[in-house]
Structure 1
Amino acid sequence: MEHRVVFDFAIEFTNGGGIQGQDFRLDIAGETISDQELADYIIEDLRLLMVGKVHILNKAYIQEEHKRKPIDAVAKEKLIDLSHTIFDGLITYKGLPAPIICDFLSREDSKGKYEEGTEFQIGKIEMVSNTGTYIDCPFHRYAHGKDLSEVELDAFANLDAITINAVGTLEIGINYFKDKEIRNRAVIVRTDWSKHWNTNVYFENHPFLNREAAEYLRDCGVKLVGIDSHNIDDTRGNSRPVHTVLLGSEILIVEHMCNLDALPEAGYFFSAVPPKFKGVGTFPVRAFAALACK
């Protein structure tokens, strides 16, 4: 059975005035819809500008045949979180200390500093920069390379991206990248190794790129390379050719990602933006993909 929503609305404009509507009926894809989704839909559908407060009133649901394409998602893009959660005691890399996350000012201690009923928490974090899902800049590998504060913002955000499926492969070579449209793109390598996150399995025999693949990506002029594995290099020895090749060409690296199985092969934008620190070459990011909604 198809569902519709029946409601009244009142819209106020920031430059004065307003409009109202009674007993509106709209098709919806599911059985319910939030007031915010309804408000956004009305504003977009009526092409309204200078909109202030929107009141959705007397909302009810009925089962009735649809009259046009139902409201499913008003947003023009869908965001997919590709980052692991950082928590107190998390081990990202064996041999590096876990983060310490605690209160600098607790809510209890803040009582009495402000008016009654007003409390705040100020957190304190102690950690190495290689924690959680993080991005590597040239300074991480090269003393004279660009640090986080020197890399332009457009190198971190809204990068046209492509997903490379390398699930089940230990050593990822150039064949995975040939015949692919990768120039000027963020190349996101899916291995599904993130399923072992926060376990001892995660650290051993993880998927990695080899030198030839790194050189191929460099020569093809990619913008960034990301992976959902413990390291983009083979950590069974002390050589790090992929970091050397990519960072030497100012190609950024993102490691320890997750949820790459939710990405399409192409047609999305990738972002992994760190704070603007001077003298730091790597730092945690909230990596995410933006997919256009149909």
Structure 2
Amino acid sequence: MDHRVVFDFDIEFTNGGGIQGQDFRLDITGETITDEELADYIIADLRLLMVGQVKILNKFYIQEKHKRQPVDQPSPELLVDLSHTIFDGLITYKGLPAPLICDFLSREDSRGRYEEGTEFQIGKIEMVSNTGTYIDCPFHRYGHGKDLSEVQLESFANLDAVTIDATGALEVGVDFFKDLEIRNKAVIVRTDWSKNWNTEAYFENHPFLTGEAAGYLRDCGVKLVGIDSHNIDDTRGNSRPVHTILLGAEILIVEHLCNLEKLPASGYLFSAVPPKFKGVGTFPVRAFATLPKV
């Protein structure tokens, strides 16, 4: 037998008025459904607009053959966090200071400023912009390049993405990117070096892209290149050809990613959105992937 949910509902509209229903029956795909999911389901089922508060009342389940085809629902999505946590004292890059994270106004100090039972915390953060998982814009490398405030939002969010499996490689060369559909995409390079995060091993002999690979990606017209390593360039010397080539072509760079083993080879969206700062070319991001839930 199929599953159905029986319930009452009370729906208010943001433009006034409302509707109620008693002993309403709805086909569901599983054995149970949450009130929140049920509210979304019935709104779609009745094609309601301007919906405000929704109350689901007296809900119970029955087994009964479905009376009709279920309402088409938007495809569910899965978000995968690809960012490291930034904490007080974290060293992201040797030679750069760790962030200082503390209270500007503590909850205890706030109690005398508000009515009884009301308290707030206001944090204070001092850090360099190259902290945690961060994005590089052209201004990071070039004085005339676009800074965070000048790069369009579309360059940071909902980019079609592909994952390149470079695990076990030190130098990620051109061959890793050949025979793949990468034009106009975010190219995310998985090395699994993030397993060494916040250890001494993270800083030494890390994987990196070659300058030749950067030139190939530029010529292919990619939108962004990310990596889960200490740096996208080889830091054993003073040359930074990958930053030079990619940022010179206004191709954004994201470094210090993590959880790339959770990503498919393709068919997902990548986002890494920084604050809109003027005069800054690098800043931490909450990078994430949007995957279709199967």
Give TM-score, length-normalised by structure 2.
0.91
* Alignment correspondent of 1:109: 109
Deviations 1:181-215 (A, max 9, x none): 11111111111211221122222221111111000
Q: What is residue 152 of structure 2 aligned with on the other side?
A: 152
CA distance in 1 between partners of 2:60 and 2:90 (Å): 46
In the superposition, relative to structure 1, how do residues 291 and 200 fare at CA in structure 2: closer, same or farther (>3 Å)? same
Q: Within 5 Å, give how 1:265-276 maps onto structure 2.
A: 265-276=265-276
Q: Which moved more, 1:178-187 or 1:74-83?
A: 74-83
In 2, Cα distance between equivalents of 1:250 and 1:52? 43
Residue number in structure 1 paired with 2:225? 225
Counterpart for residue 235 of structure 1: 235
Confirm or deny: 8 A CA contact 1:186 1:224 kept in the other structure.
yes
Note if contact 1:8-1:59 (Cα within 8 Å) is conserved in structure 2: yes
The separation in 2 between residues aligned to 1:98 and 1:228, in whole angstroms, is 20
Mapped to 1, the partners of 2:93 and 2:103 lie a distance apart of 24
Q: Judging changes above 3 Å, is the alpha-carbon distance between structure 1 residues 84 and 32 closer, same or farther for their aligned structure 2 residues?
A: farther
Mapped to 1, the partners of 2:64 and 2:172 lie a distance apart of 52
| CA separation of 1:2 and 1:171: change in aligned 2, threshold 3 A | farther
**Letter matched to residue 19 of structure 1:** I
Residue equivalent to 2:28: 27
Distance 1:26 1:87 in 2: 47
SS at match of 2:112: coil
Cα shift at 1:76? 4.0
Unaligned 5+ segments in structure 1 are none
Q: Percent identity?
A: 79
Partner of 2:162: 162
How far apart are the structure 2 equivalents of 1:125 and 1:46?
48
Correspondence 1:54 to 2:49: no
* 1:69-125 deviation digits (Å, cap 9, x = unpaired): 889x96643222111111111111122111111100011111121222221111000
Give 5+ residue unaligned stretches, structure 2: none
Deviation at 1:19, TM superposition (A): 2.5
Matched, 1:259 2:259: yes
Give, as a single letter, the amino acid of the residue that structure 1 aligns with 2:60.
A
* RMSD over aligned Cα atoms: 2.4
Shift of 1:61: 4.7
Matches for 1:1-294 after TM superposition, within 5 Å: 5-23=5-23, 24-29=25-30, 32-61=32-61, 64=63, 67=66, 76-293=76-293
How many correspondences in the alignment?
292
